[in-house]
Amino acid sequence: MSELLLINGPNLSRLGTRKPEIYGTDTLDDVQRRITEAAGQYDLQCVSYCSNAEGSLIDFIDQHREARGMIINPGALMMAGWSLRDALEDFSGICVEVHISNLWSREAFRHESVLSAVVDGVIAGMGTSGYMLALYGIVERLGLSVKEA
């Protein structure tokens, strides 16, 4: 079974309680459960990781270089995660950057991602549904279909 990485950066461990008016009420466990279940239908094993530390995220990516896909919500590292950018640039699988809120309807400092140029796609403003959209985008790019029971 091939790996699909589900990576979440700073402050996303508090999903569901942190600013629910912006980020919604789904928890990170809710997101992980949905992605794991849906990924399994395509014979992908979801490997989840969340950290507030950029170096830890990079170490995790390095340990899973053979993964076929990655969904990453880098949180605020999108604006200053230059080391994370280098790690994503070296990742050979399909990588989709996800943001729960619409970054362009928020403060100006959130309008540019240093990561977007090295990933395969960006989804923003769709709430936690963006993670599922990212999964389906990866599945399509990999040419996978639902496995038979």
Which residues are marked as active site? 23, 99
81 sits in which H/E element: none
Report residue 60: phi and psi, to 5°: -65, -45
Pairwise CA distance, residues 19 & 24, whole Å: 7
Task: Number of helices (H) and strands (E) in the chain: give both, helices first.
Answer: 6, 5
Q: By three-state DSSP, how is residue 65 classified?
A: coil
Neighbours of 29 (CB within 10 A): 12
Which of 64, 47, 45, 52 lies closest to 5, judged by CA?
A: 47
Region for 93 from its dihedrals, namely left if φ exceeds 0, alpha if ψ lies in -120 to 50, beta otherwise: beta
